[in-house]
Amino acid sequence: MAEGLRERKKRETRQRISDIATGLFIERGFMAVTMADVAEAADVSVNTVYNYFPAKEDLFFDRSAGVVDRLARWVRGRDPGESAARAVLREMREEVEAVSPRVGLMEGYDRFMRVIHDAPPLRSRLWSLQQEIHDALEAALREETGAAGTDPLPGLIAGQICWIHQTVFTTIGRRLLAGRKPAEVSREVLVLLDDIEDLLSEKVLNYAVRRAS
């Protein structure tokens, strides 16, 4: 269905508030900015900000929904003959090789990471997001393999695959914080992904292979 005028205006308002808040967080730091500051800068009421974003952390991690189910989507969309881990490795390589902002390879991402580094509430929320990513992936692996609820293997494999994801993001963030250029970091992380694959066991690399139709 086509988006109605009311829905479009709400979406645009939400996005404007989020963009303004992000600019304030990067300029002043997360802890120094209040919801009232965001409301004033966006020329809306404080209640309006809270209607769209129940907590200040929600403003900063506004696009987290697409991140939480990313690994699960990659696994569900894997090619015939491809395992869950190899699908994630392939997708990660494609994103890194493309110097994609979706994996943080962009100018200015270092400022985003610095805000997180300096704010304990954001570090806590990031940890929670990582747990959500793991849980979504584990659920996808159980569905794809038909594993019983008592089978620990989907959770263990999800942990290994999330390690790939987290290692890549952590490495990119640290190297950009150190002043490196995205294209340079991209080349280095492609080598890192090869090293990561070499460390994974055959059991992980061959788990949940999609049968050819």
Which residues have CB under 8 Å from 207's CB, separation 6+?
83, 84, 85, 141, 145, 153, 157
Q: Judge whether 87 and 206 are in contact, CB under 8 Å.
A: no
> Tell me, what's the pLDDT at 81?
96
8 A C-beta contact, residue 163 and residue 48:
no
pLDDT number for residue 5: 82
* Cβ proximity of 177 and 110 under 8 Å: yes
Structure tokens of 67? 């991140």
pLDDT at 4: 80
* Average pLDDT per consecutive 10 residues, the chain (213 residues; last block may be shorter): 78 93 95 97 96 94 84 96 98 97 91 92 94 97 95 97 95 93 97 97 97 79
- So what's the pLDDT on residue 1? 54
pLDDT of residue 63: 75
Residues 6+ apart with CB under 8 A from 128: none
Q: What is the pLDDT of residue 8?
A: 87
Nearest 5°: CA angle at 60, between 57 and 64?
90
Burial class of 31 by CB neighbour count within 10 A (0 to 12, 13 to 18, 19+): middle
- Residue-level pLDDT at 62: 85
